[in-house]
């Protein structure tokens, strides 16, 4: 049996307006098929029905979405809204993109449009350089969000079962996988720019029939193959030798280094086949190991990792914190360029974001 829930919206001396929720069972549960929303009014003095209307789930959801679009109705929203404007579908897509851009840059762009014209004139009013800058700023905003995502992924990994907990966070859905390593691989594949090198494409080891090869085979801008070997952030990078008071590669890192040297041998063995069949350029491939954390490293530990890297040939060990710091440096550099361009009124194109 349905249990109705009532909410009085308006009451005067003669009129009462009520909203009634239906389709809720005895256990206080409902579903999209049974849910309904009824609005009715009656004359209090004469106890007479004035009007009533029932909305199904789809209609009620449409009303909810409409009301939710008003910023002043949102919890913690502003007291006063902005101006209401009529826009086309194209204009809406432009507004959605502009909302992610630096506000000062947006003001500069909008200044070119006649206040009496529709928003469609924005694109027509922008020069090629300004359109390039708009695109770059949107990419910059996306990069900042990606770095926030990485921080959250690292926290999830540190606090428990990341494979389970990530599924509850919609904004991280692009990285969901069945294994922790694959989650971070998904992030890195989407954010190779943090390595400071532009790669034109990724190659699958399965396509070249090599059973034992690194997680990612990347083709650099100049056409050469580099490898990226991924391990979990929880992997320990350094061990401490108390007798000599020095740090050295942990057993897990030593094992990973051995894997990478094996990969280099595999590539050397298949060099002629790969170059002939897949047109790859194999000349002293480099391997980047992305593993472990360094956020709690002491100066001595940072020095030790640098010494380890300096003694390696064609292999570099990068912690996830180092990777994040590289991304922040790139983002900070671009932010500085935007600030200087806005302050100086410079119309030159800003540095392109990968």
Confidence band, pLDDT 50/70/90 cuts, at residue 80: confident
The boundaries of the domain holding residue 30 are 5-73
Residues 114 and 200 in one domain: no
Residues 201 and 313 in one domain: yes
Residues 166 and 102 in one domain: no
Taking the model in full, what pTM does it have?
Answer: 0.61
Residue 150 lies in a domain: yes
Answer yes or no: is pLDDT of 44 > 60: yes
Give the residue among 310, 325, 312, 305 at the shortest CA–CA distance from 286.
312
* Residues in contact with 262: Cβ distance below 8 Å, sequence separation at least 6, in sequence order: 212
Residues 97 and 170 in one domain: no
Task: Say what percent of the chain tops pLDDT 70.
Answer: 75
Residues 163 and 112 in one domain: no
Confidence (pLDDT) at 26: 72
Residue 349 lies in a domain: no
Answer yes or no: is pLDDT of 162 > 90: yes
Residues 236 and 300 in one domain: yes
The answer to whether 280 and 307 have CB atoms below 8 angstroms apart is no
Confidence (pLDDT) at 322: 96
Total structural domains within the chain: 3
Residues 109 and 158 in one domain: no
Give the model confidence (pLDDT) of 108-139 as tens digits. 555 554 555 545 555 555 556 665 666 667 77
Instruction: Give the pLDDT mean for 7-16.
Output: 84
Residues 254 and 318 in one domain: yes
Give the model confidence (pLDDT) of 312-352 as tens digits. 989 999 999 999 999 999 888 877 876 776 667 665 655 55
Residues 152 and 231 in one domain: yes
Sign of CA dihedral 341, 347, 348, 351: positive
Residue 260 lies in a domain: yes
Higher local confidence (pLDDT), 107 or 56: 56
Residue 343 lies in a domain: no
Q: Considering the chain, what is the average pLDDT of its residues? A: 80
Give the model confidence (pLDDT) of 297-317 as tens digits. 999 999 999 999 999 989 999
Confidence (pLDDT) at 317: 97
Residue 353 lies in a domain: no
Lowest mean pLDDT among 86-90, 151-155, 337-341: 86-90
Residues 111 and 230 in one domain: no
The answer to whether 53 and 39 have CB atoms below 8 angstroms apart is yes
Answer yes or no: is pLDDT of 168 > 80: yes
Residue 117 lies in a domain: yes
Residues 310 and 208 in one domain: yes
Residues 220 and 316 in one domain: yes
Annotate 60-102 with DSSP letters as a single string: HHHHHHHHHT-GGGSTT--SS--------HHHHHHHHHHTTS-
Residue 341 lies in a domain: no
Answer yes or no: is pLDDT of 2 > 50: no
Distance in angstroms (rounded) separating the CA atoms of residues 42 and 12: 11
Distance in angstroms (rounded) separating the CA atoms of residues 239 and 230: 20
Retrieve residue 13's tokens. Answer: 């001396």
CATH of the domain at 210: 3.40.91
């Amino acid at each position: 049996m349905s249990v109705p829930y009532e909410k009085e919206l308006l009451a005067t001396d003669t009129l009462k307006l009520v909203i009634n929720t239906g389709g809720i069972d005895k256990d206080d549960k409902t579903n999209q098929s049974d849910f309904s929303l009824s609005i009715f009014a009656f004359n209090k003095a004469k106890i007479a029905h004035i009007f009533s209307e029932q909305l199904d789930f789809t209609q009620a959801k449409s009303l909810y979405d409409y009301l939710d679009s008003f910023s002043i109705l949102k919890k913690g929203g502003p007291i006063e809204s902005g101006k209401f404007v009529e826009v086309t579908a194209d204009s809406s897509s432009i507004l959605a993109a502009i909302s992610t851009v630096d506000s000062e840059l947006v003001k500069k762009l909008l200044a070119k449009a006649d206040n009496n014209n529709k928003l469609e004139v924005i694109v027509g009013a922008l020069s090629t350089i300004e359109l390039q800058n708009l695109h770059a700023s949107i990419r910059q905003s996306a990069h900042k969000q990606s770095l926030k995502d990485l921080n959250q992924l690292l926290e999830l990994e540190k606090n428990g079962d990341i494979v389970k907990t990530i599924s509850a966070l919609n904004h991280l859905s692009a990285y969901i996988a069945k294994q922790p390593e694959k989650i971070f691989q998904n992030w890195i594949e989407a954010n190779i720019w943090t390595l400071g090198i532009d790669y034109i494409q990724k190659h699958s080891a399965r396509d070249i029939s090599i059973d034992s090869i690194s997680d990612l085979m990347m083709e650099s801008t100049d056409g050469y193959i580099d490898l990226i070997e991924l391990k979990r952030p929880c992997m320990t990078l350094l061990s401490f030798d108390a007798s000599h008071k020095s740090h050295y590669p942990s057993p897990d890192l030593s094992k990973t280094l051995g894997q990478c040297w094996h990969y280099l041998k595999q590539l050397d063995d298949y060099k002629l086949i790969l170059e002939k069949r897949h047109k790859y350029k194999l000349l002293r491939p480099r391997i980047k190991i992305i593993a472990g954390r360094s956020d709690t490293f002491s100066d001595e530990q940072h020095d030790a990792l640098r010494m380890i890297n300096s003694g390696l040939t064609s292999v570099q060990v990068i912690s996830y914190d180092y990777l994040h710091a590289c991304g922040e440096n790139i983002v900070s550099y671009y932010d500085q360029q935007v600030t200087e361009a806005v302050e100086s009124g410079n119309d030159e194109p800003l540095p392109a974001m990968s």
